[in-house]
Structure 1
Amino acid sequence: MIRRQHVAADFFPEAEAMRAAYDEKVGNAYRQAIEWQYFCDPRMYTYLRTAPQQVFAQPLWRRFDRHMRQWCMEHAGLVPTGEPNLHLMVNGCTLGLHSDFQNGTLGFVYSLTRWESRKFAGGETLLMRDGVPSYRKHHVQGEVLYELVPARFNQLLLFDDRIVHGTPTIQGSMDPLEGRIALVGHLRAASPVVTAGPLDEAAAREVIAGFHRSLAQPLKPFKEVQGVTSLRLAVAADGRVESVEVLTDNFVTAQSGYEADDDVAAARALVLDAAAKLRFPGAGGPSKLIAPVLLPLPDLRPVEIVVAHAGQAAVLHEALKAQLKEVEALGFRVEVQGDSFAVREPLAGTIRIESHRIVAFFDAPMWVPSQREHFQAALAEKLGMLARYAG
């Protein structure tokens, strides 16, 4: 189970191929054609970043992306949000202390840095420890206050996005081959997904939506508990839940952090007990389902976006089909199904182009309000641009 943080060593079998691709791209300054963004806010950040497709050949990148998504769903019950950035940090680069709770549930750092032979100081991921200020503590400093996680080669680090974190300033070489090289991104909850067996996914999502609604009243006494738990349910052929496995659980309170807390324990027990009592439609055999729960419970209404257009529906349909790569770059996974576009990630839903309007309809996300608002705004902007294209 993933709680505050998790390290997976030897993460990707083709890590050496990824590092070789990077070395080949940047090894000769006269042939280097990567479009780096120099991301600098002098108060907070200084580093270089680019899209991973600038460095890795498409087949290799697809294999990494598939491995990452499968691993995260299997072990965390969460999915990556869009494409990660490839970060390069050389002498003088730094990431100041910050929190990313608006970006996801867990942050991740996948390192391609030759850590054991590095020629620089700094570059670890600094994670602030929990703790309430107290006069009983005297002259605390260093790793009493924070933890430093080395960016070892082929290591995936996951950590709670609410934790204040950063990267100490790199002191050493300016050579891009000798810097800190890592893929950086975020994971968040997706719609419930059937990972094995014949259980109908749409029907399963309806059951989970009812499960979320049923939690509202019992959880009212625990309004200080916040976080995400992702559950894997083993469902028998007759629809009974045979077991509940917790994949991610970062329930905390602002007062206790990750320390033991009675309210956290009670809220967790309530969620697990309710999940164990769920009943799904019967199917032809046993199934497995992954479903998240966010506390405090978010807005449980589905997401619906309607954009008027004055064009021809068939033309718009073809235009959207041609732009799917751009849409997927926002983190969507889309399939064309007849006259509609079925979306699998980050939320299950559909986009339909009707005679005078474009309608997008999605499950209610287990996201904090700012994440939901950003999702709605980004999709509305994309659909608005499509509608204007038709006009």
Structure 2
Amino acid sequence: MIERQHVVNEFFPEADAMREAYDLKVKDPYKQTVSWQYFCAPQMYTYLRTVPQQMFPEPLFGRFMQHMKQWCIDHLGLVPMGVPNLHLMINGCTLGLHSDFHNGTWGFVYSLTRWQSRKFSGGETLIMRDGVPSYKKHHVQGESLYELVPAQFNQLLLFDDRIVHGTQTIEGSMDPIEGRIALVGHLRPTSPIVKGALDPAGARKVILDFHRQLAEQITAYKEVQGTLTFRLAIAASGEVESVTILTNNLVTPATGYAPSAEVEQVRNLIQRAAAALRFPAANGKSTVTAPVLVPLPDLKAIEIVVPHANRPARLQEVLKAQLKDIEAQGFQIEHAGDEFAVREPLAGSIRIESNRIAATFDPPMWVPSQRDHFQVNLKESLGMLARIGG
């Protein structure tokens, strides 16, 4: 079970190939074609970033993203939210202390930095420790307040996105070959992931009913916050054979990750309720991986309707042509008839009807701001589609 933060060394088998591709792109300043964004918010952030597709060959980067996604599903029960940014930090670059509560459940940093031969100081990820320093202590400084995690080559660092964190200021070379190079992104829960004989729609309904029942049971635990993901092994009969907790970042504001009776009670309640679930019978065994956000969020489906005055067939063709760009943002979509079935980041559908575009998605285990942001962006995207000329 993964809690608070986690490091995976030697994460991707083709890390050397990715680093070689990076070096080839930037080593000759007269031939470099990468478009960098200089991201500077004074007194907070200073760094360069770009989309990784500019840097790495498409097949290689595709294999990285597939490896990343599968590892996250297997070990965390979460998925990456779209494509990460590629960060370059050279002399003077820094990431001030901040929290990414609105961006994801977990943050990640995948390093392509040649850390052992670096020519700079700084560059470690700074992660604040739990608790407020006591004024009674005579002297508190440095790593009694925070932890510094070096950006070792081919290392994946994961941490709770709520934790205040940053990156130590780089002091040293201005050469992009000698900088701190990392892919940076966020992970969130997806709709339940169903493998095996079970019908996915039926299994998702069982989990949604489970969430609704759970919402009533944990109302009393007002201080517990966070996300727990679990994997159920399910017999052909529909009975749950085992419950494995994958991640657990349940905390209270007062205790953080320190032991808490309330947190333990909520974890046990969720585990017992999950073990008691009954799924429809099937012709073989299955697994279901699902999240629980505490406190439970809005459990109403996301429904967005946008009117249009175009030919439905025309809009379907346009949407099909845009699927590759949409999937690069983290969506997994299949086209069938007049419907586009969405698998990730949420299960749902987009239907192009005679005079409207209707989108429906499962309620996400996301905090309200994350859900709101998803809905606003989706409505804007569907609105743009609706305005395309016939």
Shorter-chain TM-score tier: over 0.9
Aligned to 2:153: 153
Give distance in 2, aligned partners of 1:138 and 1:96. Answer: 27
Kindly report which structure 2 residues correspond to 1:309-324, keeping only aligned pairs within 5 A, or say none.
309-324=308-323
Kindly report which structure 2 residues correspond to 1:1-391, keeping only aligned pairs within 5 A, or say none.
1-194=1-194, 196-390=195-389
Shift of 1:20: 0.4
Per the normalisation by structure 2, the TM-score is 0.99
Letter in 2 for 1:367: W
Letter in 1 for 2:241: E
Give distance in 1, aligned partners of 2:11 and 2:206. Answer: 34
Give distance in 2, aligned partners of 1:217 and 1:385. Answer: 40
Letter in 2 for 1:281: P
Q: Report if aligned partners of 2:338, 2:353 keep a CA contact under 8 Å in 1.
A: no
SS in 2 for 1:380: helix
SS in 1 for 2:313: helix
Q: Report if aligned partners of 1:132, 1:255 keep a CA contact under 8 Å in 2.
A: no
Give distance in 2, aligned partners of 1:277 and 1:364. Answer: 22
Deviation per CA, 1:300-355, whole angstroms, max 9, x where unpaired?
00000000111111111111111112322332111112211111111000000000
Q: Report if aligned partners of 2:198, 2:282 keep a CA contact under 8 Å in 1.
A: yes
SS in 2 for 1:374: helix
Letter in 1 for 2:23: D
Q: Report if aligned partners of 2:228, 2:247 keep a CA contact under 8 Å in 1.
A: yes
Q: Report if aligned partners of 2:133, 2:145 keep a CA contact under 8 Å in 1.
A: no
Shift of 1:147: 0.2
Shift of 1:163: 0.3
SS in 1 for 2:346: coil
SS in 1 for 2:19: helix
Give distance in 2, aligned partners of 1:389 and 1:339. Answer: 17
Q: Report if aligned partners of 1:305, 1:380 keep a CA contact under 8 Å in 2.
A: yes
Give distance in 2, aligned partners of 1:197 and 1:358. Answer: 32
Give distance in 2, aligned partners of 1:137 and 1:237. Answer: 59
Q: Report if aligned partners of 1:53, 1:61 keep a CA contact under 8 Å in 2.
A: yes
Give distance in 1, aligned partners of 2:290 and 2:68. Answer: 19
Give distance in 2, aligned partners of 1:328 and 1:250. Answer: 28
Give distance in 2, aligned partners of 1:385 and 1:333. Answer: 20
For structure 1, which runs of at least 5 residues remain unmatched after alignment? Answer: none
Shift of 1:133: 4.1
Q: Report if aligned partners of 2:133, 2:140 keep a CA contact under 8 Å in 1.
A: no
Give distance in 2, aligned partners of 1:217 and 1:333. Answer: 32
Deviation per CA, 1:244-281, whole angstroms, max 9, x where unpaired?
00111000001100000111111111111000000001
Q: CA RMSD in A?
A: 0.9
Letter in 2 for 1:2: I
Q: Classify 1:142/1:387 alpha carbon distance in 2 versus 1 (closer, same or farther; 3 Å).
A: same
Shift of 1:137: 2.4
For structure 2, which runs of at least 5 residues remain unmatched after alignment? Answer: none
Q: Report if aligned partners of 2:364, 2:371 keep a CA contact under 8 Å in 1.
A: yes
Give distance in 2, aligned partners of 1:159 and 1:80. Answer: 13
Give distance in 1, aligned partners of 2:333 and 2:95. Answer: 34
Letter in 2 for 1:316: L
Deviation per CA, 1:134-192, whole angstroms, max 9, x where unpaired?
23323200000000000000000000000000001000000101000000000000000
Letter in 1 for 2:294: L
Letter in 1 for 2:6: H
Identity %: 68
Deviation per CA, 1:18-47, whole angstroms, max 9, x where unpaired?
000000000111111000101011121000
Per the normalisation by structure 1, the TM-score is 0.98
SS in 1 for 2:183: strand
Letter in 2 for 1:341: F
SS in 2 for 1:310: coil
Deviation per CA, 1:168-217, whole angstroms, max 9, x where unpaired?
100000010100000000000000011x3211111100000000000111
SS in 2 for 1:221: coil
Shift of 1:240: 0.4
Shift of 1:286: 1.1
Q: Report if aligned partners of 2:121, 2:171 keep a CA contact under 8 Å in 1.
A: yes
